[in-house]
Amino acid sequence: MSCIMNKLEKIVRDYDIDGLLHLSMKFNRPHTSFYRNASFSDAILRCSVYLPLHLYIKSVVDYYSVVPFQLTLNTYRYMVCLYIIYYILGSGIPTPKEFA
């Protein structure tokens, strides 16, 4: 078994991913993933961002027409912090436009 396959199996095991992981093809990039697929990095998973995405995070991703991998770790932190601030203040859920 190759080193890459060992890493994929470790990610599946460590993050309890229920689904198949595929290696990208030669010319695929995170921003050109196939329909109904997503690209993620181990760094993002280590920050407790899991699939399926929280509905608020998904709404921001959809609103800006980006794929989850295009967002930096700090962007995820900002989204979660804004969500928590709104929750604490009893203001409901922030809109993706308010995130800007």
- Judge whether 73 and 44 are in contact, CB under 8 Å: yes
Q: Looking at the domain assignment, is residue 31 inside a domain?
A: no
Whether residue 82 lies inside any domain: the answer is yes
Assigned domain for 28 exists: no
Asked, for residue 27, whether it belongs to a domain, the answer is no
In a domain, 78, yes or no: yes
Looking at the structure of the chain, the number of domains it has is 1
Residue span of the structural domain in which 74 resides:
3-21+39-99
**Residue 75 included in any domain:** yes
pTM of the model: 0.59
Q: pLDDT, tens digit, for every residue of 9-28? A: 777 777 677 666 666 655 55
* pLDDT at residue 72, as a whole number: 83
pLDDT digits (tens, 9 = 90+) for 23-50: 665 555 554 555 555 566 667 777 667 6
Structural domain includes residue 7: yes
